[in-house]
């Protein structure tokens, strides 16, 4: 127990600005403090963050603190707060109870606002973190631009259908808002790279030219022991922290995505996002212990399911295709009670992938298509391949209010693949007839 919480203050101002993604290549971005990504917010576990936010955009917005276990009223969705109108301010205040790699992003008109850059990282440190020589935050994104560097608007019906169906992917590949950037590391060093997929729809299968690296942390913090791999799939909104190195002086290799077929119309490709360049030799103080943390399992693999959630696609007269949860769009799901173990079976009957995201709470995946997961981890986003079924376990701690879950492909979320639900206290009666009552849409 810390005896006093430290207060950490930030000012965030949303606005429009010119941003150079490559020499001479300038886009009109929307973002925070005229930076893309917005400033890295840093705190220690247990600190209280006060974020004074001002909206200088020409349209309303809200900020969502993706992965932070905060009170519902601070979750930054239109279900819990009035969107911040142009010229208005709002103060977000919350404690950061967990260490890890989190992020913040617009939760209003996201398909436009996030595409233009309304996101940033939120890093929570802890004294139990493994010691590395340095760390980097790497935010992955892409933009779909015209040859004049304007954000491309799909014009005719088929292009609109395609963007809605696939999610928006573009050919301008960014790491921390820059195209073709260099990632520098000294020889002999071990660094922690915190990787955040902030794109609308891109599936990033991280690969470092075949070099081994260690996964040490997922969405909700450190895993139990490092896992040595040569690739890891990072779907929209997921975070993976990896320990990389040591490398040899003069080495050069790409930070790239291998092709991953998410069954969209866009053909998967192998693409380089940045080049890693290894500099002069330096001595290392890094130590990555074989035991990083302890994660107590919440439930057994065969635990009884308390709720079923089905992602599917259906025909729509207006848009060609609808993105459905339990055969409906923008649903209100039944409440969950504080303290009651939740075992949710989330299935995907469609023929494409969807990353499922739960706001405000971490879950453990306990079953994937009948198999146990490879390792225990705290997650807030999990990918559902076509025709798959996962079971997740989580416990609502005492933070009643309205929360949501949705597909984190922004176009699918907008098209209806989302739900609101309440976490209620034990003394609150369960509201009746909630399941087919529609919540207001946010277009
Ligand atoms: Cu990062 Cu509602 O999402
Ligand atoms: Cu979220
Ligand atoms: Cu989806």
> What is the Cα–Cα distance from 19 to 16, expressed in whole angstroms?
9
In the prediction, which pLDDT does 287 show?
Answer: 94
Provide residues with CB under 6 Å of ligand 1.
64, 66, 105, 107, 237, 357, 359, 406, 408
Distance 385 CA to ligand 3 centre (A): 10
Q: Which ligand has the shortest distance to the CA of 407?
A: 3
Q: Please give the average per-residue pLDDT across 170-191, as a whole number.
A: 97
Element (H, E) at 415: helix 410-415
Mean pLDDT, to the nearest integer, of 46-72?
98
CB 266 within 8 A of CB 169: yes
Q: Which ligand is nearest to the CA of 412?
A: 3
Q: Which band of pLDDT confidence, cut at 50, 70 and 90, is reported for residue 158?
A: confident
Distance 2 CA to ligand 2 centre (A): 27
Please name the residue that has the structure tokens 């119309």.
265
Strand pairing class (204-207; 320-325): unpaired
Q: What is the per-residue pLDDT for 427?
A: 78
Q: From 27, 30, 59, 26, select the one nearest 118 (Cα to Cα).
A: 30
pLDDT at 440: 47
Q: Which residue has the tokens 């996030």?
A: 114
pLDDT value at residue 3: 52
pLDDT reading at 375 higher than 80: yes
pLDDT in tens, 335-374: 999 999 999 999 999 999 999 999 999 999 999 999 999 9
pLDDT per residue as tens digits for the range 398-441: 999 999 999 999 999 999 999 999 999 987 777 665 544 444 44
Binning pLDDT at 50, 70 and 90, where does residue 192 land? very high
Q: Which segments within 34-128 are labelled E, that is strand?
A: 41-44, 48-55, 63-66, 89-95, 100-106, 119-125
> Would you state the pLDDT for residue 432?
63
Query: How much is the pTM?
Result: 0.95
> Which whole number is the average pLDDT over 282-311?
98
């Amino acid at each position: 127990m810390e005896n006093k919480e430290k207060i950490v203050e930030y000012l965030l101002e949303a606005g429009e600005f010119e941003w150079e993604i490559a020499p001479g290549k300038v886009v009109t971005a929307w973002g925070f403090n005229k930076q893309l990504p917005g400033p890295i917010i840093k705190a220690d576990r247990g600190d209280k963050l006060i974020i004074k936010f001002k909206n200088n955009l020409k349209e309303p917005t809200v900020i969502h603190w993706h992965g932070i276990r905060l009170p519902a009223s601070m979750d930054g969705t239109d279900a819990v707060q009035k969107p911040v109108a142009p010229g208005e301010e709002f103060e977000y205040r919350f404690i950061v109870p967990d260490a890890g790699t989190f992020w913040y992003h617009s939760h209003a008109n996201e398909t436009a606002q996030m595409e233009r850059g309304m996101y940033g990282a939120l890093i929570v440190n802890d004294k139990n973190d493994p010691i590395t020589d340095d760390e980097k935050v790497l935010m992955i994104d892409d933009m779909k631009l015209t040859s004049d560097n304007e954000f491309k608007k799909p014009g005719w019906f088929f292009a609109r259908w395609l963007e809605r169906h696939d999610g928006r992917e573009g050919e301008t590949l960014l790491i921390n808002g820059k195209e073709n950037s260099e990632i520098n590391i000294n020889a002999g060093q071990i660094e922690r790279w915190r990787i955040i997929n902030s794109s609308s729809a891109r599936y990033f299968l991280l690969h470092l030219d075949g070099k081994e690296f260690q996964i040490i942390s997922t969405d909700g913090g450190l895993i139990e022991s490092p896992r040595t791999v040569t690739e890891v799939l990072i779907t929209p909104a997921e975070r993976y922290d990896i320990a990389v190195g040591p490398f040899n002086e003069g080495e050069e290799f790409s930070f790239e995505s291998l092709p991953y077929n998410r069954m969209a119309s866009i053909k998967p490709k192998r693409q380089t996002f940045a080049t890693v360049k290894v500099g002069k030799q330096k001595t290392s103080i890094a130590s990555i212990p074989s035991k990083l943390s302890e994660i107590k399992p919440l439930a057994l693999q065969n635990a009884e399911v308390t709720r079923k959630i089905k992602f599917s696609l259906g025909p729509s007269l207006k848009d060609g295709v609808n993105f459905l949860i339990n055969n409906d769009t923008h649903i209100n799901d039944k409440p969950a009670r504080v303290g009651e173990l939740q075992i949710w079976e989330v299935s995907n009957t469609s023929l494409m992938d969807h990353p499922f995201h739960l706001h405000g709470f971490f879950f453990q995946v306990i079953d994937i298509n009948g198999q146990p997961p490879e390792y225990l981890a705290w997650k807030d986003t999990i990918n559902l391949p076509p025709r798959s079924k996962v079971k997740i376990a989580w416990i609502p701690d005492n933070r009643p209010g309205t929360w949501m879950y949705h597909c984190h492909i922004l176009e699918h979320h907008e098209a209806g693949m989302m739900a609101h639900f309440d976490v209620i206290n034990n003394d609150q009666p369960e509201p009746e007839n909630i399941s087919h009552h529609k919540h207001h849409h946010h277009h």
